[in-house]
Structure 1
Amino acid sequence: MVAILGYSKEQIREAVQEMYTSVARAPESPFHFPVGAGACLKLGYPGDQIKELPEDTLASFAGVGWPFRGQALRPGDITLDLGAGAGNDSLIASRIVGPNGHVIALDVTAAMSQKLQHVVSNAPGISVIQATAESIPIASKTLDSITSNGAINLVPSKRQAIGEMFRVLRPGGRLQLADVVIRRPVSVDCESDPRLWVECVVGATVEEDLLAMLGDAGFDDVRVLKRHDYFSLSPSSQTREIARSFGAHSVEVSARRGPRNPGKVQKFLRRSNPMRWIRHLHRRGFSGVAALGLAIISCYGVLAITGLLALAGVRLTLSPDLWALAIAVTTLLAGGMVAAGFLQHRYPVPVLLAAVGVATVQYALFIEYHILTEMLGFALLGAGAVLDLLRRRTSEARTLGL
């Protein structure tokens, strides 16, 4: 695959629609993801739940889990099937909500919607609409429940889509979804390549981030019910390799809409949580650079602050031993973060540079101090951290075939 950078969200949507048009019209074609009745059964759908599905509809199944494990739907519910595809889950949902309920099947792909419309033409309990998840054409607080299967990872604006789900649900409304997530984010510059969105895991979110986005939007009781090694079912060896590299899998999640939309201040406080940022930097490979910055601040930043306070007439007494210990610990941390990158790229030079840099700083701190020795150590450690970051990106690009 070759990345072509600079595509818009509309072009990504077009690529997604082209792929799933093929799934609707020619489900027997080779795809990088599992489709059909076999995939349904392997992902946990009970046989009695799918035995009454139309054969043609079942052939175009392209879900990533069994969202009904969340048990969000009740008899009499007005329910949205977000990313309904050919309509397998919509038909199952219609049986659950019964004659007093109603299912709204929404999908962005015209071919999928047309296929479902043909199937449900004599089923008054299901309405089919073609729209995007980021702009759901349903009035606010009108739905009792939402089910979704493999849709969010294909949406460019995930926060907006989750916000829309929150908007259309009534307070206390229930959500069940299955979606593709990853353990390590894709950090090379390829997120705007539509082919990578539909062929790989570029559009997927880190599992922790998906759950956090649901909480940020105002959902309560967010739970992961099951994880699937979804990509092990892929017929494509390249897709299986990419999925292993990024820890891609699928999850089944349930949640409940909170009583009110969180305010801007509350959302800001949640999203600015320092621990979320630390984990974000670590997953994107910046932990070595961040730890190096902390080491430099603990050394020269403290020195600068002490000097400025002295100029202002404020005397601050530092313990030389504690100061040296803080510098030693933070440089060791930076070296450890760089060494961790070896597990990904298997390139020893960053580790060697970082190790020599750490040893040089320690020598200057505890054996024979000279500022040039200390600065040389930080320079070597910095070179190792930067080279580690570059090698991580190169390794990711190679895995993605860029």
Structure 2
Amino acid sequence: MPPPASTLRAADQIAYLDQAATSDPGREYKQRLLTALDLRPGLTVLDVGCGPGTDLPAMAVAVGSDGAVIGVDHDPEMLEQAQRRSAAHPQVSVRAGDAHALPFGDASVDRARIDRVLQHLADPRQALAELRRVVRPGGLVALAEPDWDTLAIDAVDTATSRAYTRYIVSDLVRNADIGRQLGRLLADAGFEVVALDATVAMFRDYREAEAVLRMPAVAQHAWQSGALDEASARTWLDSLANGPFLAAVTFFTVIGRVPTTES
């Protein structure tokens, strides 16, 4: 969970996404999501908010040479990186697009995925309505989002830990508690909820957590905005880096199916 995107260069955003994907919690939930999508040769798969294309090659292998994988993102630099990373897979294409208005026809894809994107969108409900429109009857969608309101960081200074989480929820992430809403939102959009899981992403190593949670950068933005006292925050960060470390956040995944015309 990086600082606000407007404060990061594209290279920093890409590095952050790569670090999150290769962390132990990142690898675990991504594999679960890929398995749950039930990708098979010949299917057409849509990755909404594909970023630098981290997962496009794995999807390409799953659908084979007769399938198609389409990555959509609004950021030209992300799309350029995604194109480069998937160059060895001719069944992969990337397109500029908005999750709120996908550039595809009705019932045109078999599978779709949104991974840690809804938390940032202006209108998650509209994005899910677009998924409902473009996925064929019987097709599957997979969603994955953290619930930042559950973030717990152990420290002697519990007040700063709580203020840090409040800053993330109130000011940093647009839809910070969307993880817990995924099942309801998917059902409201007209999907059948096939599976809904909540797991705890737990970090015992400060360096691994810093790569994903970016505590120093986020804390700096918090004290610059007045949400944290700078002196207290610096002492808090020092205690996290040098003492026993524990942080945990609940991560939700949900699988939905488009009802068939018969149902």
1:21 matched to 2:3? The reply is no
1:201 matched to 2:173? The reply is yes
* Amino acid in structure 2 at the alignment position of 1:221: V
Residue in structure 1 matched with residue 72 of structure 2 by the alignment: 106
List per-residue Cα deviations over 1:87-138 (Å, max 9, x = no partner): 1111111011111100000112111101112233453210101111111101
Could you say which structure has the greater relative contact order, defined with CA pairs below 8 angstroms and 6 or more residues apart? 2
Residue in structure 2 matched with residue 175 of structure 1 by the alignment: 141
TM-score by length of 1: 0.45
Structure with bigger strand share is: 2
Q: Separation in 2 of the partners of 1:100 and 1:74?
A: 10
- SS of residue in 2 equivalent to 1:138: coil
Maintained 8 Å contact 1:180/1:251:
yes
Residue in structure 2 matched with residue 158 of structure 1 by the alignment: 124
Q: Separation in 1 of the partners of 2:18 and 2:38?
A: 24
Deviation at 1:252, TM superposition (A): 2.0
1:250 matched to 2:257? The reply is no
Maintained 8 Å contact 1:86/1:116:
yes
* Amino acid in structure 2 at the alignment position of 1:129: R
* 2:192 equivalent among 196, 213, 220: 220
List per-residue Cα deviations over 1:306-359 (Å, max 9, x = no partner): xxxxxxxxxxxxxxxxxxxxxxxxxxxxxxxxxxxxxxxxxxxxxxxxxxxxxx
Deviation at 1:159, TM superposition (A): 0.3
1:79 matched to 2:56? The reply is no
Q: Separation in 1 of the partners of 2:173 and 2:218?
A: 9
Deviation at 1:160, TM superposition (A): 0.2
* Amino acid in structure 2 at the alignment position of 1:45: R
Q: What percent identity do the matched residue pairs reach?
A: 24
Residue in structure 1 matched with residue 214 of structure 2 by the alignment: 235
1:43 matched to 2:25? The reply is yes
Q: Separation in 1 of the partners of 2:187 and 2:148?
A: 18
Whose radius of gyration is greater, 1 or 2? Answer: 1
Q: Separation in 1 of the partners of 2:41 and 2:253?
A: 21
Q: Separation in 1 of the partners of 2:105 and 2:9?
A: 27
- The answer for unaligned runs of 5 or more in structure 1 is 1-14, 28-33, 47-63, 185-194, 261-402
1:133 matched to 2:99? The reply is yes
Q: Separation in 2 of the partners of 1:118 and 1:179?
A: 26
1:145 matched to 2:111? The reply is yes
Deviation at 1:226, TM superposition (A): 4.1
Q: Separation in 2 of the partners of 1:158 and 1:230?
A: 26
* Amino acid in structure 1 at the alignment position of 2:59: A
Deviation at 1:178, TM superposition (A): 1.5
Residue 68 to residue 109, structure 1, CA distance change in 2 (3 Å) = same
Residue 89 to residue 156, structure 1, CA distance change in 2 (3 Å) = same
Q: Separation in 1 of the partners of 2:198 and 2:8?
A: 27
Q: Separation in 1 of the partners of 2:176 and 2:113?
A: 18
Q: Separation in 1 of the partners of 2:105 and 2:216?
A: 44
Maintained 8 Å contact 2:57/2:89:
no
Deviation at 1:76, TM superposition (A): 1.2
Maintained 8 Å contact 2:45/2:69:
yes
Q: Mapping of 1:248-397 within 5 angstroms?
A: 249-259=250-260
Maintained 8 Å contact 1:65/1:251:
no
Residue in structure 2 matched with residue 290 of structure 1 by the alignment: none
Q: Separation in 2 of the partners of 1:140 and 1:17?
A: 33
- SS of residue in 1 equivalent to 2:130: helix
Maintained 8 Å contact 2:194/2:257:
yes
Deviation at 1:182, TM superposition (A): 4.6
Q: Separation in 2 of the partners of 1:114 and 1:102?
A: 18
* Amino acid in structure 2 at the alignment position of 1:143: V
Q: Separation in 1 of the partners of 2:50 and 2:253?
A: 16
- SS of residue in 2 equivalent to 1:43: helix
* 1:119 equivalent among 71, 85, 88: 85
Residue 175 to residue 235, structure 1, CA distance change in 2 (3 Å) = same
Q: Separation in 1 of the partners of 2:121 and 2:18?
A: 22
- The answer for unaligned runs of 5 or more in structure 2 is 151-166, 228-247
Residue 143 to residue 82, structure 1, CA distance change in 2 (3 Å) = same
Maintained 8 Å contact 1:20/1:109:
no
